[in-house]
Amino acid sequence: MDRMLYLLGSNADRLVYAQSISANNLANVNTVGFKADLNQVASSSYETEMLNTRVYAVALPPVTDFNPGALMRTDNPLDIAINNKGFFSVLNSQGKEAYTRVGNMYQTKEGMLMTGNHLPVLGEGGPISIPQAKKIDIAQDGTISYIPLTSSENVSIKLDRLKLVMPEAGQLSKRSDGLLYMPDNQLADVNTEVQVSSGFLESSNVNAISEMTNIIQLARQFEISMKLIQTAETMEDNSAHILQL
C-alpha cells in the first residue's frame, strides 16, 4: 500500500507545481511583454535489481512560450515593441546583461533610459543616457535620435542604437527575476535584422481563459489524488485489521 501512497504523493506534488505555473501566468496576463511558462512533466521509473515496479511523475523546470503578444498602440515615443522575433538587452539588478521583451521605457531625471520594471536599457555602446531633449525618435532599426532642448534648429542628433538580439529561443532560459539569459552567462550578439515599432507595446501572450481552465482541471485532479490517498489509507487500515483477526 505504501507504493500507492508514494505514487499518488508524487502526482499531487506535480499538480501543485503545475498550478503555481498557471497561477503565475494568470497573474501576468496584463504584464507588458510577458511570456507564458509551459509546464513539463517526465516519468521516472523506480529501478531495482529485479523488474521496475512503479513509475513516478516528475515535474521539470518550465519552458517559455516565445510566441509574440498583440501590439497595442500608445503613441508614446518611448514605448517600443519588437516586431516578430528578437529581444531588448538590459542590465539586471546585479549589473549582468539579460534579455526581455518589456518595452515600456522611461527616462530618469539623469536621462538614463529604463524599462518599465526599472532596468537600464543597453545600447550598442552600453547603458543608454539621453540628454534633455525636445523630441526623441527611435527608428525601426533601434537607432535613437534626439533634438537637444537648447537647440534652435530642429536637427536630430544620432545618439546610439538599442542593442537588439535574436538568439535561438532554445538558448534562452527564464530565471526567477523574469528575465531571459544565455547559457553560462554568455552574451548574445547584436542582430541588425531585429525591427521595432515606436509608439507601441507588446501585450502578454498569456491566454487568460486557457490558464483559468487549466487551473480548474489541475484542482480537480489534485482532489482526485487526495481521495485516492484516503482510499489507500483506508485499505491499509482494513488490511491491518484483518491480519489481527
Backbone φ and ψ of 151, nearest 5°: -75, 140
Give CA–CA dist 236/38, Å, rounded: 37
pLDDT band at 149; cut points 50, 70, 90: confident
State pLDDT tens for residues 87-119. Answer: 999 999 999 999 999 999 999 999 999 999 999
Q: Which of 111, 109, 108, 115 is nearest to 79 (CA)?
A: 115
pLDDT at 224 over 60: yes
CB 60 within 8 A of CB 40: yes
CB 85 within 8 A of CB 77: no
Give CA–CA dist 16/22, Å, rounded: 10
pLDDT at 123 over 70: yes
**Of residues 163 and 133, more confidently modeled:** 163
The residues spanned by each domain of the chain are: 2-66+206-239, 71-202
Reduced to 3 states (helix: H, G, I; strand: E, B; else coil), residue 223 is helix
